[in-house]
Structure 1
Amino acid sequence: MSAPTVSDFAAMQQAREAAWLSPLATPSYPARREREEPHSGVRTPFQRDRDRIVHSKAFRRLKHKTQVFVAPEGDHFRTRLTHTLEVTGISRTVARALRLNEDLTEAIGLGHDVGHPPFGHLGEDILDRAGRERFGRGFRHNEHSLRVVSALEGLNLTEPVRDGILRHSSGAGEPATLEGKIVRLVDRIAYINHDIDDALRAGILAVEDLPAEEIAILGPTGPARIDTLVHDLVAHSEAAGDIVQSEEVGRAMYALRSFMFERVYLGPAQREQAERVERVLRGLFDWYCEHPDELPPGEMPERVIDYLAGMTDRFAIRAWTERFVPQGLAR
């Protein structure tokens, strides 16, 4: 028996999708890429995108980038990589339940944060302000994620994956696909709940601090809340033909998000971290602008912004220490 050809594989996948996927799902074929290329004989176009993202340098660096807590000493705090994996896993569950394209959902989930700078959203805010002040242009991690996969890593991803990566953040417009909308909403579901877990572990919050009304609706633990949110999302999205939540559960989730901004993301402990991060990242930004010979080749301002955004937390701290701390004191 001869091995199936590329066209055989594509035809079989298209037949499977026609039989299984919802009419609202994004089909894997035809693949629209910036540069046309032949199909694979063993993977759908979205599977190839997923693999290219996982094999990229930017994806590997996520393991040493902050989620919320900067360079935590404990082994169980989330990093940008574990956040990405949680978002992707939950998103695939939702996509499967709604009979949407799991491969597309997975690729968007894995790629959505590859452009995140070091030190989480503190780092993003600092790069944004520094870029506006010196160059008149800001920084948004979703836009930079698209730049990473397209220009810096040259992954030649499909159009629906690039769209989902760009539009996973608020302010970037609605994703063009339901799969992209899943990742956009699940990103919030994941970070709200795992950031609560990390804040409890760090001692910034106690269980009794959590808002009672929202906890009563969503559940007493992170897994229980995610289960509630996912079931609600699937049930109401299926009925609506769109990615939506019920009014009660959606309101409770966003109230819990507001609580996290007040008590954790913008709270006293984070303000303390912000001062240290500002010193490191702003110091490096100004240094490299004045010493461009230390940067990879290219044009400003992309040259300095690309370099800083690509750093891990520990690389940024080491780079700052080498330039601003007398080495006798650093030993």
Structure 2
Amino acid sequence: MAEVAGPAGRAVYAEAPENSRGRLVPEAQSPTRTPFQRDRDRIVHSAAFRRLKHKTQVFVPYEGDHYRTRLTHTIEVSQIARALARAFRLDEDLTEAVALVHDFGHTPFGHAGERALDRCMAAFGGFDHNAQSLRIVTELERRYADFDGLNLAFETLEGLVKHNGPLTGPYAEDAEPVPQPIREFDARFPLALDRFADLEAQAAAISDDIAYNTHDLDDGLRAGLIDLADLDQLDLAGSIHREVKARYPRLDPSRTIHEVMRRHITRLVEDVIATTAANLDALQPQSADDVRNAGRQIICFSPAMIEAVQQTRAFLFARVYRCDSVMRVMREAERVVEALFERFRARPDLMPGDWAEGLAGLSDERLARRIADYLSGMTDTYALAEYQRLFDAMPQLR
């Protein structure tokens, strides 16, 4: 039986699940789910997805229970992405799959852990969380009898790797070399690294920007790193704050924050919808490949909103990400990751279970990559437990 068709009314430029380019390891079609529904379900049921619950977004678990984690961030991104997919009549299941998988490769302690692991791996090709996401879904998740990884469809893998744009060729904004894990997989299963991804992946990518630019402001306010009055120096958040104060002059601070943040998301989403609709009218793509060959992102902010988003990002770096209290914790988190890496380099047999098997004959590069795989898969809490086991001490990430 053919795989179930997508919802009626799909746009001509959307991905058609019945025309999926397939998987690295061929599988029988499902009688009840499209390829993209299967991918979404495999992602949600993976160990890597569950681990996001205990991985830092900005604030480590000690800071409080109400701040975002990688998991709650991912869920927020997927909700926004589905809304955009519905607005443009895209395949919602593929869009959601790309949104749900986009942060799989993040280390414990967020970007601090990634910085530390990248330094540790400098002699072995470095460490990149997007490339690590690909390793997880193509190799490291080992649950299925017939293959390693999740054996996701081409379109989901393409979206994971290229949701921020091409990695090679004239349209690649990032001049850095393509990470080795991506190059190695692309040699086996080409992902057209020189072209843009489909609209489903572009929707997921901009939803990530919308989510973190909003909820990092929210968490910064609730952490006391910024005050509501500080928002007035921002064009977007400031205008919304003044609008809320004018309409609800006696509203308490907690509700004011929520009212500002929900309108912040709405303003960003509506800008993307209007800008993208104009781009689609101008381009008139007749297929997903027309999108790939367009030579630019189609789902994007307006020029004015790009400036506002960049202003917000600069504000967050100065007042939240790089503030003294956060940086003190992140420096200690980096030290933890580096110490764990060096200890396992010296004594790889100290890694538990399967990680310590088959070490004989591994090159320095392969051994380092295995250690990086082990460390990057750790949650914050597990990394701290491993540090305590190996060093008989508990770091104070406060």
Report the TM-score when normalising by structure 1: 0.90
Aligned partner of 2:37: which letter?
Answer: Q
C-alpha distance in 2, partners of 1:72/1:225?
Answer: 28
- Are residue 55 (structure 1) and residue 50 (structure 2) matched? no
Q: Is the Cα contact below 8 Å between 2:11 and 2:89 reproduced in 1?
A: yes
Query: Using a 3 Å threshold, how does the CA distance of structure 1 residues 24 and 217 change in structure 2: closer, same or farther?
Result: farther
Q: What does residue 278 of structure 1 align with?
A: 334
C-alpha distance in 2, partners of 1:171/1:255?
Answer: 25
Q: What does residue 387 of structure 2 align with?
A: 320
Aligned-pair CA distance for 1:325: 2.8
Q: What does residue 203 of structure 1 align with?
A: 224
| Structure 2 SS opposite 1:124 | helix
Aligned-pair CA distance for 1:38: 1.2
Aligned-pair CA distance for 1:216: 4.0
| Alignment RMSD | 1.8
- Alignment counterpart, residue 15 of structure 2, candidates 21, 26, 32: 26
Q: What does residue 162 of structure 1 align with?
A: 157
Query: Using a 3 Å threshold, how does the CA distance of structure 1 residues 155 and 218 change in structure 2: closer, same or farther?
Result: farther
Q: Is the Cα contact below 8 Å between 1:117 and 1:308 reproduced in 2?
A: yes
- Are residue 233 (structure 1) and residue 221 (structure 2) matched? no
Q: Is the Cα contact below 8 Å between 1:218 and 1:229 reproduced in 2?
A: no
Query: Using a 3 Å threshold, how does the CA distance of structure 1 residues 182 and 139 change in structure 2: closer, same or farther?
Result: same
Q: What does residue 192 of structure 1 align with?
A: 213
Q: What does residue 148 of structure 1 align with?
A: 136
| Displacement over 6 Å in runs of 4+ | none
Query: Using a 3 Å threshold, how does the CA distance of structure 1 residues 266 and 326 change in structure 2: closer, same or farther?
Result: closer
**Percent of residue pairs identical:** 44
| Structure 2 SS opposite 1:114 | coil
TM alignment of 1:214-253, pairs within 5 A: 214-216=236-238, 221-241=260-280, 242-253=298-309
Unaligned runs of 5+ in 2: 142-148, 173-194, 245-259, 281-297, 359-365
Aligned partner of 2:273: which letter?
Answer: V
Q: What does residue 41 of structure 1 align with?
A: 31
Q: Please say which of residues 170-179 and 313-322 is displaced more in the overlay.
A: 170-179
Aligned-pair CA distance for 1:167: 2.4
Higher-helix-fraction structure = 1
Aligned-pair CA distance for 1:30: 2.4
Cα offsets for 1:189-244 (capped at 9, x unmatched)? 10111111111111111111222423245666111110001011111111212212
Q: What does residue 312 of structure 2 align with?
A: 256
Cα offsets for 1:153-183 (capped at 9, x unmatched)? 1100011111111224578456411111111
Q: What does residue 138 of structure 1 align with?
A: 126
Unaligned runs of 5+ in 1: 1-5
| Structure 1 SS opposite 2:121 | helix
C-alpha distance in 1, partners of 2:103/2:275?
Answer: 27
Q: Please say which of residues 67-76 and 88-97 is displaced more in the overlay.
A: 67-76
Q: What does residue 322 of structure 2 align with?
A: 266
C-alpha distance in 2, partners of 1:245/1:114?
Answer: 26
C-alpha distance in 1, partners of 2:68/2:129?
Answer: 18
C-alpha distance in 2, partners of 1:215/1:123?
Answer: 30
Aligned-pair CA distance for 1:114: 1.0
C-alpha distance in 2, partners of 1:129/1:326?
Answer: 23
Report the TM-score when normalising by structure 2: 0.75
Aligned residues: 314
